[in-house]
Structure 1
Amino acid sequence: MKYLFFMVIAVFASTAITAQNKGLEVAKAAENADVGFESYAVDLKMILKNANGQESTREISSKILEVANDGDKSMITFENPRDVKGTAMLTFSHKTDSDDQWLFLPSIKRVKRISSSNKSGPFMGSELSYEDLGSQEVEKYTYKYIKEFTLDGDRVAIIERYPVDEKSGYSKHIAYYNLDQSYRVEKVEYFDRKGALLKTMKHLDYKKFKGKYWRPGELYVVNHQSNKETRLVFSNFNFKTKITEEDFTQNSLKRAN
């Protein structure tokens, strides 16, 4: 009986390792498929809907810089309406360390550093957290392969991702990777620290740029606990622009408006 018991434990451990390795392989393949974009700028509309169905719209410009051997750098600047115009967010993503983030508030003309303990909070009243704004580096998670299914003729793998950062606002994500379309992410389900489903983000209306880089035309986020929604609608993608490191400093935050 002891021999049988240890055999069962060994098989279970082997299966767990296989699921972890397979999940990691999918995540690495997704990352490798997007390497080399260098930089891009894009315009967005952020459409917020509260639990009563009332909507408000904000216009945003964003730019991203690819960083070798680390996470990407990004700048988000609010252009309209007037009450948020000039507000800007700077993010230095990292592979293993906590992301560095700064928020410029034009009303007080100050740059505020976002502490790691506050990154689960909502960004500018949306259903996105500060944590969501960083690039999704492979090293930020451990993984578990769940299963594969077919969606509109494409193979899609379901992978559970567990944040390494103990201060993450999430206990896990369930991500849906399209294996036949450069491993692009189709949907992510986010679970809160208690393990309850918090929100779902769908990546919609994908387009391919430069013959390689898939980008969604819209991100649709619904919060299942508050019944609030956020839509990010993208336009005017411009790849390999003349964006440099100098565009991502705290001083550039103040100049963004």
Structure 2
Amino acid sequence: MGMHKSVLLAFALCCGGAWAAGNAERGLEVAREMDARDKGFGDYRMAMAMTLRDKQGSLSVRQMQGAVYETAKDGDKSLIVFQAPNDIRGTAFLTFAHGNRPDDQWLYLPAIKRTKRIASDNRMGSFMGSEFAFEDMGSQELDKYNYRLLGEEKLGDIAAFKLERTPKAEGSGYSRQVVWVDAQRYIPLRIDYYDRKNEPLKTLLYGAYQQFKNKYWRAEKMEMQNQQNGKSTTIAYSGYQFQVGVTEDHFDPQRLEHAH
């Protein structure tokens, strides 16, 4: 190879590496801004209606109550308690989210009066028959992923950053996720999930955002569409109440049978 070509190749390799590093840093900046804008909410409660659709269009609806508690040095704690239908009433799901390791999760089943811990190798299991996996139900902590900015594009009429994030945990069920982030509000609009073979698996769509306390944005609708099995699950959120005095004691894996 001649000197001229060698110099050109070295320049291309150098610039390519710098471009990749730059996009990683820019992706992390977007993720940091998302995280920073949602800090300080303290706690909140909400009602949830989860609608399961099979590929024939048959529906099944479940009613739940949820609570979230923001911790100072770790991920959020969240609790979901099922209210209806009667056959699953009292079922409770507790998550302690973490940034640098898999979340801790427990599921209380009133039919057998037993709380079981969700094993880390079962995080891709279906959450209560829905298209949401256990892995999807924790908060999206900043340190869970490596980031890369893929570019900017419109999603509908909303200008968005297109962000790729790769789970750091080896046991994750996803090879990567592509997230569209509202470029003004820094909130997620859509997430495409890819399975361990890097094939498209699911798409999560966020809708009907509302702002609370003049700062915190929450979606009133989330729809998870599974490309591989044709099923979908929609969660409708209502009755958000922020800073209502939910304490950390509310999130006790030893007392899930009494959760409310």
Q: Distance in 2 between matches of 1:173 and 1:8?
A: 28
> Which residue does 2:113 correspond to in 1?
109
Please say if 1:253 is aligned against 2:232. Answer: no
TM-score (norm 1): 0.97
Match of 2:233 among 230, 233, 243: 230
- Select 1:188's aligned residue among 187, 191, 195: 191
Partner residue, 1:165 = 169
**In 1, are the aligned partners of 2:70 and 2:76 still within 8 Å (CA)?**
yes
Q: Which amino acid aligns with 1:229?
A: S
Moved more, 98-107 or 142-151: 142-151
Partner of 1:65: 69
CA contact (8 A) 1:157 1:179 kept: yes
Cα distance in 1 between the residues matched to 2:57 and 2:38: 36
Which residue pairs with 1:133 in the alignment? Answer: 137
The equivalent residue for 2:152 is 148
What secondary structure is seen at the aligned counterpart in 2 of 1:22?
A: helix
Of 238, 242, 245, the match for 1:239:
242
Is 1:179 the counterpart of 2:160? The answer is no
- DSSP-derived class of the 2:150 partner: strand
Per-residue Cα deviation, 1:177-233 (whole angstroms, up to 9, x for no partner): 00112x010110101010111010000000001100000010011101100010000
2-structure distance, mates of 1:138, 1:2 = 40
TM-score for the superposition, normalised by structure 2: 0.96
Contact 2:50/2:61 (8 A) holds in 1: yes
Q: Deviations over 1:5-61 (max 9, x none)?
A: 221111110000001000000000000010010000000000000111100100000
Q: Contact conserved, 1:220 with 1:231, CA < 8 A, in 2?
A: yes
Judging changes above 3 Å, is the alpha-carbon distance between structure 1 residues 198 and 151 closer, same or farther for their aligned structure 2 residues? closer
Identity of aligned residues (%): 39
**How do residues 13-24 of structure 1 correspond to structure 2 at under 5 angstroms?**
13-24=17-28
Query: How many angstroms apart in 1 are the aligned matches of 2:154 and 2:84?
Result: 41
Quick check: 1:22–1:145 contact (8 Å CA) kept in 2?
yes
Q: How many residues align?
A: 256
Structure 1 position 3, deviation (Å):
2.4
* Separation (CA, whole Å) in 2 of partners of 1:152 and 1:198: 22
Task: Determine if contact 1:86/1:106 at 8 Å carries over to the other structure.
Answer: yes
Supply the AA of the counterpart residue of 1:187.
Answer: R
Structure 1 unaligned segments of length 5 or more: list them: none
| Paired amino acid for 1:20 | A
Note if contact 1:246-1:252 (Cα within 8 Å) is conserved in structure 2.
Answer: no
Say if 2:155 and 2:180, in contact at 8 Å, map to a contact too.
no
CA offset at residue 150 of structure 1?
3.5
Matched, 1:55 2:64: no
Q: Which amino acid aligns with 1:117?
A: D
Q: Aligned pair 1:206/2:209, yes or no?
A: yes
Q: Which residue of 1 aligns with 2:89?
A: 85
| 1:152 CA drift (Å) | 5.8
Q: Structure 1 counterpart of 2:233, which letter?
A: T
Counterpart of 2:225 in 1: which secondary structure?
strand
Return the offset for 1:154: 3.9
What is the distance in 2 between the residues matched to 1:14 and 1:168?
A: 28
Aligned to 1:7: 11
Question: Contact 2:191–2:205 at 8 Å: present in 1 too?
Answer: yes
User: 1:251 offset after TM fit, Å?
Assistant: 2.9
Cα distance in 2 between the residues matched to 1:6 and 1:37: 49
* 2:44 aligned partner: 40
Q: Which runs of 5+ in 2 are unaligned?
A: none
Q: Deviations over 1:42-86 (max 9, x none)?
A: 000000001111001000000000011210000011110011111
SS at match of 1:32: helix
Q: Deviations over 1:123-177 (max 9, x none)?
A: 0000000001111011100011011123565421000010001100001000000
SS at match of 2:11: helix
